[in-house]
Structure 1
């Protein structure tokens, strides 16, 4: 209760003196933006996945970071991620990576995903990895029919 009263009192005092924001804090926060180009970004993630000593946690972290961004990873990054999954002997992670990349295509999945599969097909065949559609993961296994379709 004392904390809430003190917070309200500090707002009243700031308002009466006209203090709204400290300019130094704002400039420090805005100065931390990166000026990395797209080519440097792609090279950084490709080099990260191509590391020989990458472990499962690092691979999952990088994949999760990439899928959390508002972008579709380049095919060379996807291929490097698949090769990292192969070095880790984690087939499930490779399939999950492909599902995440497909999901990141968003509403343009019908145009971007076929192109992506076409670009990474040599890597898929080299590693023996199938796409989620080839595994049947695009169709629900135990789904019930809709009452409107009967």
Structure 2
């Protein structure tokens, strides 16, 4: 072995447990890799969920808040109601964020179970979409066949 390599090996610090932490404490402590999620809202109905997120989107003042609320709303195992989507689209217009408005419809498409449900959302939100000038990704970038 070369002398340089020997020095490098000897220079490694030896990792030891501090004397203040007992081995018994470490064995009693159960560490896991999963986080325990605490829901501050408890069990809430779909109507309460919708009302809460409508209120959240009505108070949005910047793009970060808008995107955070969208991430939180779409994280649940449900599709937000058209009223929540309307509030989100108005918030996107208020903070002048066109890309996020387009992404809202992509999120809806990903969350619904089938194309028929997506078409119902589009039909319900079409007047607002036209009023705000929000285009769909499908119309901007049609798939090549």
Hey, which bits of structure 1, 4+ residues long, moved more than 6 A?
none
Quote the residue 2:143 is aligned against.
Answer: 139
TM-score, length basis structure 2? 0.69
What is the root-mean-square deviation of aligned Cα atoms in Å? 3.1
Match of 1:77 in 2: 84
Q: Given the alignment of the two structures, is residue 119 of structure 1 paired with residue 124 of structure 2, yes or no?
A: yes
- Which of 32, 35, 43 aligns to 2:51? It is 43
Q: Does 1:130 align with 2:135?
A: yes
- Paired residue total: 124
Q: Deviations over 1:65-110 (max 9, x none)?
A: 11222211111111111111111111111011211221122xx231
Matches within 5 A, 1:61-76: 61-76=68-83
User: So what's the TM-score if we normalise by structure 1?
Assistant: 0.67
Larger helix proportion, structure 1 or 2? 1
Q: 1:123 to 1:7 in 2, by over 3 A?
A: farther
* Higher Rg: 2
Structure 1's unaligned 5+ residue stretches are: 15-19, 22-28, 146-150
Q: 1:34 aligns with which of 27, 30, 42?
A: 42
**1:96, 1:104 → 2: CA distance?**
12
* Cα deviation digits, residues 11-43 of structure 1 (max 9, x gap): 76x6xxxxx99xxxxxxx989661322111101
CA deviation profile, 1:38-75 (whole Å, cap 9, x unmatched): 11110110111122x52111101000111222211111
Runs of 5+ consecutive residues of structure 2 not aligned to the other structure: 1-14, 31-36
Structure 1: distance between partners of 2:125 and 2:38 = 38
Compared with structure 1, are the counterparts of its residues 61 and 124 closer, same or farther at alpha carbon in structure 2 (3 Å cutoff)?
same
